[in-house]
């Protein structure tokens, strides 16, 4: 056991201290020390050691097969619902937007790659007169991220539409899993096996003529009236507590417009934190904790972040 631990420590130390070797065939699709602020909707985040955008699923699997065992992996969609710390991400970031196949596979079923934007799924369903799918238009990310957190909007959620998923592990070994192997609840998913990554999913809907592109645009327009759509945010910051709304609790605590550095509680919707300039991830974390403490002191409710936090804190000077 000690030998195994020492071997893992050596692998991790090597990955941290030396550039990860990348075969020449993948170099055109690899960036090193890529600022994650370019790839997150908050526009914050330090550099990723390696940032890889696969051409397609075959290219992705071939790349994974070349990585040294133990290489840390992070799978990225459109960067919403995500906070990358200022020290960046060690290992490899997989940019899933290259996985973009979306096709009808049956009268009421679609197959979508993990990198397909949810809004595109909504538009395809409307063109095929399938539903309920309009909720996908309100999810500011890709299907892979929606699967990970059972994302939803307009009263709908992702996993009730899922019938099967394609996954792979860190070594690129693929398999298909039935949706019934997963447990899900509000903004939460429990996979049957840890360490697997979503490649795509079979989605099933019902014949539902009536909703049009104009109808979907109306839904989004109504959301823009009450939410800071188009500003630099991660989407909703906190999940709604049972029987309550995070925005209501934050506003009741008098925190609309409260600011730390360049991150601010939106004056339009209190459950959105917006980057109004050059915010840092550390400022986001400070404001999130401040909101949690203030709301808990006032209402007794501890708010739970809806976004995921990844990466390393900034390196301290002199270290």
User: How far is the C-alpha of 273 from the C-alpha of 231, rounded, in Å?
Assistant: 9
Which pTM was predicted?
0.88
Q: Which two tokens stand for residue 188?
A: 């939460």
Nearest residue to 39 (alpha-carbon basis) of 87, 114, 94, 99 = 94
Q: Give the tens place of pLDDT for each residue, 183-206.
A: 999 999 999 999 999 999 999 999
Q: Give the tens place of pLDDT for each residue, 89-106.
A: 999 999 999 999 999 999
Question: What is the predicted pLDDT for the residue at 10?
Answer: 31
Q: Is omega for the bond preceding 225 within 30 degrees of 0, making it cis?
A: no
Alpha-carbon radius of gyration of the chain: 21
Q: Which two tokens stand for residue 298?
A: 């006032």
Beta bridge partners of 203: 110, 162
- Neighbouring CB atoms inside 10 A of 35's CB total 17
Whether the Cβ atoms of residue 53 and residue 63 lie closer than 8 Å to each other:
no
Q: Give the tens place of pLDDT for each residue, 230-252.
A: 899 999 999 999 999 999 999 99
Quote the percentage of the chain above a pLDDT of 70: 92
Q: Give the tens place of pLDDT for each residue, 134-184.
A: 899 989 899 999 999 999 988 899 999 999 999 999 999 999 999 999 999
Whether the Cβ atoms of residue 102 and residue 120 lie closer than 8 Å to each other:
yes
Q: Which two tokens stand for residue 271?
A: 């459950």
Question: What is the predicted pLDDT for the residue at 316?
Answer: 64
Which phi and psi (to 5°) does residue 257 adopt?
A: 85, -5
User: How far is the C-alpha of 163 from the C-alpha of 187, rounded, in Å?
Assistant: 18
**pLDDT score of 5 more than 60:** no
Q: How far is CA 284 from CA 85, 258, 275, in A?
A: 9, 12, 9
Domains of the chain: 2-98 (3.30.43.10), 102-207 (3.30.465.10), 228-310 (3.90.78.10)
Which residues participate in catalysis according to the annotation?
Answer: 187, 236, 306
Q: 25 exposed, middle or buried (CB, 10 Å; 0-12, 13-18, 19+)?
A: exposed
Nearest residue to 80 (alpha-carbon basis) of 146, 166, 161 = 146
Beta strands in the chain (DSSP E): 30-35, 47-52, 73-76, 82-84, 89-95, 102-106, 109-113, 130-131, 152-153, 156-157, 162-168, 174-178, 183-185, 188-190, 197-204, 206-207, 259-260, 263-265, 273-275, 308-310
Q: How far is CA 316 from CA 35, 177, 312, in A?
A: 18, 44, 11
User: How far is the C-alpha of 144 from the C-alpha of 87, rounded, in Å?
Assistant: 25
Nearest residue to 272 (alpha-carbon basis) of 242, 245, 296 = 245
User: How far is the C-alpha of 294 from the C-alpha of 300, rounded, in Å?
Assistant: 9
- Helix, strand or coil, per DSSP, at residue 195: coil
């Amino acid at each position: 056991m000690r030998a195994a631990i020492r071997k893992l420590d050596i692998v991790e130390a090597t990955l941290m201290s030396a550039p990860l070797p990348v075969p020449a065939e993948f170099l055109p699709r690899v960036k090193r020390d890529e600022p994650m602020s370019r790839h997150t909707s908050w526009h914050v985040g330090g550099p990723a050691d390696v940032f890889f955008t696969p051409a397609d699923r075959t290219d992705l699997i071939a790349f994974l097969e070349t990585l040294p065992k133990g290489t840390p992996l992070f799978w990225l969609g459109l960067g919403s619902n995500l906070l990358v710390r200022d020290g960046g991400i060690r290992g490899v970031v997989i940019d899933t937007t290259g996985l973009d196949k979306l096709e009808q596979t049956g009268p009421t079923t679609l197959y979508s790659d993990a990198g397909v934007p949810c809004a595109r799924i909504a538009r395809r369903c409307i063109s095929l007169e399938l539903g309920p799918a309009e909720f996908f238009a309100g999810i500011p990310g890709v299907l892979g991220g929606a699967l990970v957190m059972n994302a939803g909007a307009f009263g709908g959620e992702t996993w009730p539409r899922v019938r099967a998923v394609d996954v792979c592990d860190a070594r690129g070994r693929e398999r298909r899993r039935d949706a019934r192997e997963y447990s899900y609840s509000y903004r939460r998913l429990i996979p049957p096996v840890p360490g697997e990554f979503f490649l795509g999913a079979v989605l099933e809907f019902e014949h539902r003529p009536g909703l049009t592109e104009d109808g979907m645009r109306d839904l989004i327009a109504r959301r823009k009236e009450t939410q800071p759509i188009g500003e630099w945010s991660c989407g909703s910051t906190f999940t709604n507590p049972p029987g309550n709304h995070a925005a209501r609790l934050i506003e009741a605590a008098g925190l609309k417009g409260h600011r730390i550095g360049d991150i601010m509680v939106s004056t339009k919707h209190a459950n959105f934190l917006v980057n109004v300039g050059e915010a840092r991830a550390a400022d986001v974390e400070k404001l999130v904790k401040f909101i949690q403490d203030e709301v808990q002191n006032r209402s007794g409710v501890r708010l739970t972040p809806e976004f995921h936090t990844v990466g390393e804190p900034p390196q301290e000077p002199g270290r």
